[in-house]
Amino acid sequence: MSEETASEPLLFEVVEDHIALVRFNRPEARNAVNIETALALNAAVERVEADPAIRVAILTSATPGMFCAGADLKVIAAGRVQELRPNDAGFAGFVDAIKDKPWIAAVDGPALGGGTELCLACDMIVASETTRFGLPEVKRGLMANGGGNSRLSRVLPRNVALELIATGEAFTAEFAAGYGMVNRVVAAADLMETALGLARSIVANAPVAVTESLRVARQSLDRSDTDLRRLSRERNKVVLATEDSKEGPRAFAEKRSPVWQGR
C-alpha cells in the first residue's frame, strides 16, 4: 500500500475482470465509519452502478481480523450522526443505497452494530470462523437504526432474531450460517479467495439476467406472489431484449463459453 492510499478511509480497485474490491481502511479506528468513510462508500456504490464493466462488488477490510466497528463514536458525540447518512443512502452511505448489482460482504473478525448492518445490506456474506455478528445497541440504551432490526428478522427465523435483538448478544458465523444468513464460513486465510470465487461464479453469468433476477428475488418478502409473477414477466422482457439472451443459447448449441456483452 502506497503512502497516498494509506491515508484513505476506503480503498477501491477493480480486480480480475468485472469485480470491484471495496475495502475499509481505518485500522486506527477499527474501521469505524466517519464522515469521510460514508462519503467514500456512497461514491463507491455509485461507481459500481455506473460502470458497465463492473458486475459484482466485494465489501471487506484492508486489515485482517477487522471488518467495521460501526459508527465512529466521535462523530456521534459531536452530534453529527446525520452526516453518516449521505445522499439519503442510510448509514455509511450504503445500507439504503440503491444497488442493482450484487454485493458480497467478506468479513473477518468482529462485525457488530453497524458492521452487522453493512453485511445485511449486502446480498451475500462470506465470513471467517472468528467472525462475530450482533446488534448490541440495546446494551447502551440505543437502537440499531441502519436496517439491522428489520433485516435480521428476515434472514433468521423470527423468534431467533427477536431474541438476538432484545438481548443484544453476539453470535458466531457458524450460527449465522446454520440459519442461512451467511453463505460460506471459512478459515481467515481463505476468506478473500472464497469471496472472489463466489464473485467469479456470478461474473460467469449474463449480467443483465443476474441483475434482473435479483431485482425480483429481493422483493420476495415485500410483495404478493401475484405481484411477483407480474414483476418477473416485466423484467423478463428486459432480459429477452438483450443480445446476451441470444448469445447464451447460441454458445450452448456451439459448445463454447458465452461471451457476455452486458446488453
Q: In the prediction, which pLDDT does 16 show?
A: 86
Cell output for 214: 435479483
Contact 75, 81 (CB under 8 A): yes
Q: In the prediction, which pLDDT does 8 show?
A: 94
* Residue the block writes with cell 444497488: 99
Catalytic one among 46, 129, 137, 174? 137
Cell output for 221: 418478502
Q: In the prediction, which pLDDT does 4 show?
A: 52
Q: In the prediction, which pLDDT does 81 show?
A: 87
pLDDT tens, position by position, 49-85:
999 999 999 999 999 999 999 999 889 888 898 999 9
Cell output for 177: 450460517
Spans of the chain below 50 pLDDT: none
Q: Cα 65–67–69 angle (5° rounding)? A: 115
Read off the DSSP letter of residue 21: E
Residue 30, sorted as left (phi over 0), alpha (psi -120 to 50) or beta, turns out to be: left
Q: Is 137 assigned a catalytic role?
A: yes
Q: Are strands 124-128 and 103-107 parallel, antiparallel or unpaired?
A: parallel
Neighbours of 178 (CB within 10 A): 14
Q: In the prediction, which pLDDT does 7 show?
A: 83
Give the number of C-alpha atoms closer than 13 A to the C-alpha of residue 240, restricted to the C-beta side: 6
Catalytic one among 4, 36, 49, 117? 117
Q: In what order do the strands lie in the sheet with 124-128?
A: 10-15, 19-24, 56-61, 103-107, 124-128, 184-186
Sequence-distant (6+) residues with CB within 8 A of 167 are 138
Q: In the prediction, which pLDDT does 17 show?
A: 86
d(CA 191, CA 194): 5
What is the residue-wise DSSP string for 186-233? E-GGGHHHHHHHHHHHHHTS-HHHHHHHHHHHTTTTTS-HHHHHHHHH
